[in-house]
Structure 1
Amino acid sequence: MTRRLNRRRFLHEAAGLSAAALAVPFVAAEEKKKSPSDRLNIGVVGVAGQGAYDLSNVTSENIYALCDVDENRAAVARKAHPKAKFFQDYRQLLDLKEVDAVVCATPDHMHAFVGVNAMRAGKHLYCEKPLAHSVAEVRLMMDTAAKQGVITQMGTQIHAEPNYRRVVEIVQAGALGPVARVHVWCNRTPDKRVKSAKKMDAPAGFDWDVWLGPAPQQNYDTAFVPFHWRWFWDFGGGVLGDMACHFMDLPHWALDLTTPLTVAAHGRKVKDGDQDAPDLLQVDYTYPARGNQPKVHLTWYNGVPGPDLDAKEAYHGFANGVLFEGPKGQLVADYGNHKLLPEEMFKDFTAPKQTIAPSIGHHKEWIEAIKGNGKTLCNFAYSGALAETVLLGNVAYRSGKSFAWDDKAGTVDSAEAAQYLQRAYRTGWKL
């Protein structure tokens, strides 16, 4: 495994840092010993739910260690990999010098704590979206990846699907002309959750303190686990944080977008309950011009199916999707399909030559890049900007303020919004 070459390629293509910037007191990835064979030693943190899917996609390698706070939910993974070491505390897994690479599939509020510390230990990292729980944490994840020279990939698996690649080729070939307007919509809404009026005890085999991590001290509650934590700000980012990295990945890729100039949001809860995230949300982003491409106005909607539509309708049959608008026409797409509009105008359309190669698999791409074969397309240099943009939408909604975003400084021009760029950590937790 040519880790030294991998490191240089990553820095050249993704970070562009000077050699002096690499002088950090961390364990560099190339200093770690190789596995006894060509197989990587993989550690997986969070092995049920999405973690089970991620685990199933890295079994070409040696599953060296597993970690999950819930022994009961981890039982299936442990049975499938009986030789793997098992921990309930991710810090014990990260202490293993034998582990080459880590998959992080925890709730959002733990992503940076697992990810940053894994990379500081010189371990390559595959992290589920949205990369981190706050804008400041996303920046720390990006900076740490660049400084350490590790191979990274965010879990936006749709990036590897053929449909997204064909859409990118069509848009970049100029079939729509210069695109200045994009709509992105998702029909998902948070589930109603009611916290227990009485103190609940975590079940046997569940380490609630580690699950809670840096979040504010509170009792175990089935309103949160195992799935619905995503609707509470202490742990997740609502529908925007849960789904936007998948859908907004397409316009970010096709239009070469990075982070926005301005962000504004409004929304509301419809369901009663204790969940924090809004059922209906609209976020408006403006992005700078890029070369000969114009500024872009992108609008995200969740809880409503799309641009100017009644809630019971779907845009040309797309209940979730992305709509690109250009002077020559429109293109609407979801994960697996796309359509050029108006259809009559494009009835004789010939798709451009395929220039984006088929994916070998989103997880496999990461594994092969670690071994020196190719690169990851959703490395943190790319996906960090996407995750940051998504989380800025929640900053605008929670603060009730529109703002200008200074990408270089990592600041906003609103004191009310600025307080949501980072979060306070529970005593004993720090990055």
Structure 2
Amino acid sequence: MKLPQPSQLTRRKFVASATTVAATAGVWSELPAQESNSPNEKINLICVGTANRAAADVDGVKSQNIIAFCDVDSRYLDVALSKHKDARGYADYREMIDTESSKADGIVVATADHNHAPATMRAINAGLHCYCEKPLTHTVQEARMIAEAAKKKGVVTQMGTQIHAGDNYRRVVEIIRSGAIGDVTDVHVWVGKVWGGGELPEKGETPPANLNWDLWLGPAPVRPYAAGRYHPASWRRWWAFGQGTLGDMGCHYMDLPFWALDLRHPTSCEAEGPEVHPETCPEGLIVKYQFPQRQGHVGQLPPVSLTWYDGKKVPREVAGEKVPNSGVMFVGSKGHLFSTYGSYKLFPRDKFSNFQAPEQSIPNSIGHHAEWIKACKDGSPTTCNFDYSGALTETVLLGNVAYRVGKKIQWDAKTLTSPNCPEAAQYISKEYRAGWEVNPAV
């Protein structure tokens, strides 16, 4: 076995120190990545997942040395290995992490949601810097555990909300913070995608030879394979593996108001939708979060109500304006701002016809993956580190908790409990199959 290079050990120690200082100074989500002190030095990475969304993540880090891949589908794995001739292949990410962590600097996790936390926590415990797809975890408790473990271990982290690196989100944040639309007390966020509905297959099938079904299930309870019902994409509609449309898209769209309004933890949450199904997520959902008064980047900010809509529940009109199938609407005391991923509009139109955007204060990103790679090398901050994205993920997933218990829940973020709804605990955390537990290192 190849021993870790001294330069790798030195870099890990440096980055751990630098990230601790950055977190203490409270600069996680604002400082831009700077030019690398060693731009030609490549880091060693291992990747969990190789196809679909994972393929895009692999492409985002291919400038570095990818030394190993893991995929439960041998067809996908073979394609990745054919493009990276020197990389080693694994079916079980536990084996890959345990075997390769002494040689690797970081890991990219891009699996179905239920495997995010087990893979990421194992990597954190091994001292690896972590890039993990959204939502960061499958449960609220996992998000808190992962964020705390990463901070304690001093590893560099980034959640895969790639649109956060786009110019439009940055300009919207600047406008909101400038006070152009006044005090924002109401935000509406909606996505017309549908990940829900369906019933359990009547009978199971033999998995194809290329798929290790037991490893795909990972921490989830054992169930029979059924072609086209879970792998490779439909898992998002099942509670055992995903969190529906809210889990899929919430971290992308709610990221914008979280960033612009300095949100963190709601004080209450309630949801409405169709009758709760024990196995599959709803085809349409409305979730209402209440956030308290808080200290923001531009001073004291008023309480905010944030409403999420998805699937068959998306609105056609928001704040008096006709809207497309997805977007974010900030409602302020002096006007409204509507944003998509790539553009924004201010209302009323006549009032803002000659609007001059504030001077740019948030630097353009060098790229979402590039931020993380650079931070792994020199300890510079990332904008979607697990402290920020962990709180975002907690909030997103709390909406499904409220929906599944069928009542408004008061939320104590410090203890991850609902004082008025103890039954929420069953959806805040979950049990794992033996060998797949999510436990931080002591």
Indicate if the aligned counterparts of 2:168 and 2:344 stay in contact, CA closer than 8 A. Answer: yes
Q: How much has 1:229 moved relative to structure 2? A: 0.4
Q: Does 1:419 align with 2:422?
A: no
Question: What RMSD, in angstroms, separates the aligned Cα atoms of the two structures?
Answer: 2.1
Q: Secondary structure at the match of 1:86?
A: strand
Residue 185 and residue 348 in structure 1: after superposition, are their counterparts in 2 closer, same or farther (change >3 A)?
same
Q: Secondary structure at the match of 1:406?
A: coil
User: How many Å separate the matches in 1 of 2:25 and 2:238?
Assistant: 37
Residue 306 and residue 200 in structure 1: after superposition, are their counterparts in 2 closer, same or farther (change >3 A)?
closer
User: How many Å separate the matches in 2 of 1:109 and 1:234?
Assistant: 7
Q: How much has 1:93 moved relative to structure 2? A: 1.2
| Match runs of 1:13-412 below 5 Å | 13-14=22-23, 38-95=41-98, 96=100, 97-190=102-195, 193=198, 195-222=200-227, 223-268=229-274, 276-291=280-295, 292-304=300-312, 306-307=314-315, 309=317, 316-372=322-378, 374-412=380-418
Q: Gapped runs of 5+ residues in structure 2?
A: 1-6, 27-37
Q: How much has 1:13 moved relative to structure 2? A: 2.9
For 1:139-194, what per-residue CA distance to the aligned partner results, in whole angstroms no more than 9, with x for missing partners? 11011101110000000000000000000000001101110100000001126545
For 1:250-280, what per-residue CA distance to the aligned partner results, in whole angstroms no more than 9, with x for missing partners? 000000000101010111179xx99611111
Q: How much has 1:221 moved relative to structure 2? A: 1.7
Q: How much has 1:401 moved relative to structure 2? A: 2.1
Q: Gapped runs of 5+ residues in structure 1?
A: 18-34
* Letter aligned with residue 171 of structure 1: I
Indicate if the aligned counterparts of 1:184 and 1:306 stay in contact, CA closer than 8 A. Answer: no
| Identity rate, percent | 47
User: How many Å separate the matches in 1 of 2:67 and 2:155?
Assistant: 19
User: How many Å separate the matches in 2 of 1:128 and 1:6?
Assistant: 22
Q: Secondary structure at the match of 1:340?
A: strand
User: How many Å separate the matches in 2 of 1:197 and 1:15?
Assistant: 54
Q: Secondary structure at the match of 1:297?
A: strand
For 1:68-118, what per-residue CA distance to the aligned partner results, in whole angstroms no more than 9, with x for missing partners? 000012232121112110000001210111111000001000000000000
Indicate if the aligned counterparts of 1:284 and 1:297 stay in contact, CA closer than 8 A. Answer: yes
User: How many Å separate the matches in 2 of 1:11 and 1:401?
Assistant: 39
Q: Secondary structure at the match of 1:282?
A: strand
TM-score under structure 1 length normalisation:
0.90
Deviates more, 1:38-47 or 1:2-11: 2-11
Indicate if the aligned counterparts of 2:270 and 2:407 stay in contact, CA closer than 8 A. Answer: yes
Q: How much has 1:6 moved relative to structure 2? A: 2.3
TM-score under structure 2 length normalisation:
0.88
The higher relative CO (CA closer than 8 Å, separation ≥ 6) is in 2
User: How many Å separate the matches in 2 of 1:416 and 1:350?
Assistant: 50
Q: Secondary structure at the match of 1:119?
A: helix
Indicate if the aligned counterparts of 2:316 and 2:323 stay in contact, CA closer than 8 A. Answer: no
Indicate if the aligned counterparts of 1:195 and 1:221 stay in contact, CA closer than 8 A. Answer: no
Q: Secondary structure at the match of 1:419?
A: helix
Indicate if the aligned counterparts of 2:196 and 2:238 stay in contact, CA closer than 8 A. Answer: no
Aligned length: 408
Indicate if the aligned counterparts of 1:331 and 1:340 stay in contact, CA closer than 8 A. Answer: yes
